[in-house]
């Protein structure tokens, strides 16, 4: 299952969540703490503490535009 790491109030995370919803994908949202120093799981995955982060099997992405491109090209019939 796709894992989506997010934080409340993050506009970039909202962009990714919208793409996940538009593609009607099953995913698990993992809300991380607002303070960057408390985002240990994100840091272990990506080497940094920024969200959004998407984990899809062996694929780990941490840039909202890269995530959206990946989702569209992987899960959409007519990717843009």
**pLDDT for the residue numbered 70:** 98
**pLDDT for the residue numbered 78:** 56
Based on the structure, what is the number of domains in the chain? 1
Domain-located, residue 80? no
Domain-located, residue 22? yes
Q: What is the pLDDT of residues 34-80, one digit of tens each?
A: 999 999 999 999 999 999 999 999 999 999 999 999 999 999 975 44
**pLDDT for the residue numbered 77:** 78
Domain-located, residue 9? yes
For every residue of 31-75, which 3-state class applies, written as one string? ECCCCHHHCHHHHHHHCCCCCCEEEECCEEECCHHHHHHHHHHHH
- Domain residues for 61? 2-75
**pLDDT for the residue numbered 79:** 46
Residue 63 maps to which CATH number?
3.40.30.10
Predicted TM-score (pTM) of this structure: 0.92
Q: What is the pLDDT of residues 21-34, one digit of tens each?
A: 999 999 999 999 99
d(CA 76, CA 22): 10
């Amino acid at each position: 299952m796709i894992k989506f790491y997010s934080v409340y109030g993050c506009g970039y995370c909202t962009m990714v969540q919208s793409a996940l919803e538009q593609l009607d994908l099953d995913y698990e949202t993992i809300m991380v703490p607002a303070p960057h120093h408390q985002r240990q799981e994100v840091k272990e995955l990506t080497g940094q503490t920024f969200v959004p982060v998407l984990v899809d099997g062996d694929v780990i992405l941490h840039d909202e535009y890269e995530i959206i491109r990946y989702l569209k090209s992987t899960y959409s019939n007519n990717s843009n």
